[in-house]
Every structure is written in C-alpha cells, then in structure tokens.
Amino acid sequence: MVLLPALNVMIDITTTKTMAAQMHPPKIIFVVLFALALVSSLLAGYGMSGGKSRSWFHMLCFAIVIAVMIYVVLDIEYPRLGLIRVDAFDQALVDLRESMGK
C-alpha cells in the first residue's frame, strides 16, 4: 500500500514531463516573433533616417536587445539545448525514486 501512491506519482510526473517536452507552440508563433523583430527594426531605422547623425550606441543596444529577446524565447522553448537548464526539475524524479527504495 505504501508503494502504490509513490508509483502513481512517478507515473504522473513522467507523463507530464514527456508531454511538456513534446508540445511546442505552433510555428506561427515563431514567424510572428521574427516578423515583429523585423518590423520593429524597420520602424527604428525609418525613425533614425530623418536625423543627420545616428547614435551607434542606440543602434547596437537595439540590435542586442532584439537578439537576446529572440534567443531567450527559443532557449526557454528548448531548455535542454541552451543556457537555461531544467536539470533541477529532474531532481523530483530522483527524489521520488529514492523515496520508493526506503
């Protein structure tokens, strides 16, 4: 009787983890993200075209912010491939397995 609840919890966690790893947003979300980056770059460039001098600092900051934003969104979507790691979530399965052995 002690083993069944722990086994049920383990099955629920692995099913949830598997489904979360297999489900991704539709491709249109990524298309809209990149289109938004392109349109905002176009509008920023158009806004700066009227002036005689351009601020390289602001252009560089804008490019870095857009690139980091896209990278973070993609890194969160595929957490095992980038800098954002979800290894701590696996600890729940390890703890559950250890609790079943006792």
With 80 as the cut, is the pLDDT of residue 1 above it? no
| pLDDT of res. 87 | 67
Q: Average pLDDT of 23-31?
A: 81
Asked if residues 6 and 99 have their Cβ atoms less than 8 Å apart, the reply is: yes
Measured CA angle at 46 (ends 41, 34), to 5 deg: 20
Buried b (16+ CB within 10 A) or exposed e, 26-36: eeeeeeeeeee
pLDDT in tens, 34-92: 898 888 888 888 888 887 887 888 888 888 988 888 888 888 777 767 777 766 666 77
| 95 has pLDDT over 70 | yes
Three-state SS annotation for 60-97 = HHHHHHHHHHHHHHHHHHCCCCCCCCCHHHHHHHHHHH
Instruction: Give the amino acid at 3.
Output: L
Span 26-35, mean pLDDT?
Answer: 85
